Amino acid sequence: MDFNKYQVRAAFTIQDYTKEKETSSLIPFLGLIGEAGSVISELKKSLRDGDTYTNYNNKLKEELGDVLWYVSTIATQYNLDLEDIAKENLDKIMDRFDNSTSSNFITYDQNYPPEERFPREFEIIFEVINEGEKEKVRILNKESGEQLGDVITDNSHEDDGYRFHDIFHFGYVAFLGWSPVIRKLMNLKRKSVDEVDEVEDGARATITEELISLYIYNHSFDHQLFKYSSSVDTEILKTIQKLVSGIEVRSCTQKQWETAIINSYKVYDELRQNNGGRVLVSVKNRKLIYLGKN
């Protein structure tokens, strides 16, 4: 039975519990709370009685059916389609937790000239420079020896390691196939298409990416810089998706963003611990790997 058929048939059993319409419409909400409690009660019995509670699955199925009835009833009261609810929920859950990111990965520069594409695999070097009491970081393209961008400090009153933060941008390249910041540093802007150069690789997209990196970084302090984490708060990921809603990377799922963030912070931690080093950025394999100090 599909959800539409269930909802139509279940609607015939909805009762007018009181004469007051507003009060009657609240009853299913209260019933849903009660049935959720019944589901938990079955779990309690199973934990308490163990294998001797042989009717656990049957009772659990019954209670879950009652939960479904109340959900369907609430949907019907507000002219919502249970089938649509189920589909949209599944889309949301897949966006957040689906691990099969290979099918979602988009190579945004695939159809552009070779000189406007990210190298599909390359090494970068984070080189620490000591100037007095201040440490700075210089990033080099290992193959060409070219310096990528300016020498970076923490730009902070405190030593917080933000001088290594460009690793986050390289993480976006590896796991999302996207980074206006790195395109600019590596002179890979897609100038062959004026609108793409302006919108996707321009100043606004670059500022958005830097904002995302700083936003995540400030949040990471409450989570030990994700050193021991395997996940990112869903609300953080939702906010990121809102920030990029007008540019190409809007197609990336929350799971892809989470993967990029967690793995980039693992490499960031190694860069800090070793005071620099070499990193492999692999677009083709979607990996970011710390290769060592030398």
Predicted confidence (pLDDT) at residue 101 exceeds the cutoff of 60? no
Q: Cα–Cα distance between 268 and 50 in angstroms, integer?
A: 47
More confident residue, 47 or 130: 47
Compute the mean pLDDT over every residue in the chain, rounded to the nearest whole number. 93
Average pLDDT value for residue range 127-133: 84
- What are the tokens at 218? 């400030």
Q: Cα–Cα distance between 113 and 106 in angstroms, integer?
A: 17
Q: Cα–Cα distance between 139 and 164 in angstroms, integer?
A: 9
217 contacts 209 by C-beta, under 8 angstroms:
no
The residue ranges of every structural domain in the chain are 3-97, 104-292
290 contacts 271 by C-beta, under 8 angstroms:
yes
Residue type, 16: D
Q: Which residues contact 96 (CB under 8 A, 6 or more apart)?
A: 234, 237, 253, 254, 255
Q: Which residues contact 22 (CB under 8 A, 6 or more apart)?
A: none
* SS3 of residue 121 by DSSP: strand
- What are the tokens at 125? 């070097």
Predicted confidence (pLDDT) at residue 103 exceeds the cutoff of 70? no
- What are the tokens at 143? 């193959």
Residue 25: its H or E element = helix 21-49
Average pLDDT value for residue range 13-27: 80
Per-state percent for the chain, helix, strand, coil, to nearest 5: 60, 10, 30
Count helices and strands (H / E) in the chain.
10, 4
DSSP states of 208-251 as a string?
A: HHHHHHHHHHHHHGGGGGGTT-S---HHHHHHHHHHTTTSGGGG
Predicted confidence (pLDDT) at residue 37 exceeds the cutoff of 90? yes
Average pLDDT value for residue range 162-174: 96
Q: How far is CA 18 from the centre of its chain?
A: 46
Q: Cα–Cα distance between 256 and 172 in angstroms, integer?
A: 10
Q: Give this prediction's pTM.
A: 0.85
Predicted confidence (pLDDT) at residue 265 exceeds the cutoff of 70? yes
The share of the chain scoring above pLDDT 70, in percent, equals 97
Average pLDDT value for residue range 246-253: 95
Residue 131 pLDDT class (50, 70, 90 cuts): confident
Average pLDDT value for residue range 233-261: 95
Q: Angle, to 10 degrees, between the axis of helix 234-243 and the axis of helix 203-220?
A: 170
Q: Which residues contact 148 (CB under 8 A, 6 or more apart)?
A: 124, 139, 140, 141, 166, 182, 185, 186
Phi first, then psi: give them for residue 136, nearest 5 degrees: -125, 160
Could you please state the CATH topology (level 3) that the domain comprising 3-97 is classified under: Helix Hairpins (1.10.287)
Output the pLDDT for position 102.
Answer: 53
107 contacts 283 by C-beta, under 8 angstroms:
yes
Q: How far is CA 270 from the centre of its chain?
A: 22
Q: How far is CA 280 from the centre of its chain?
A: 22
- What are the tokens at 202? 């321009």
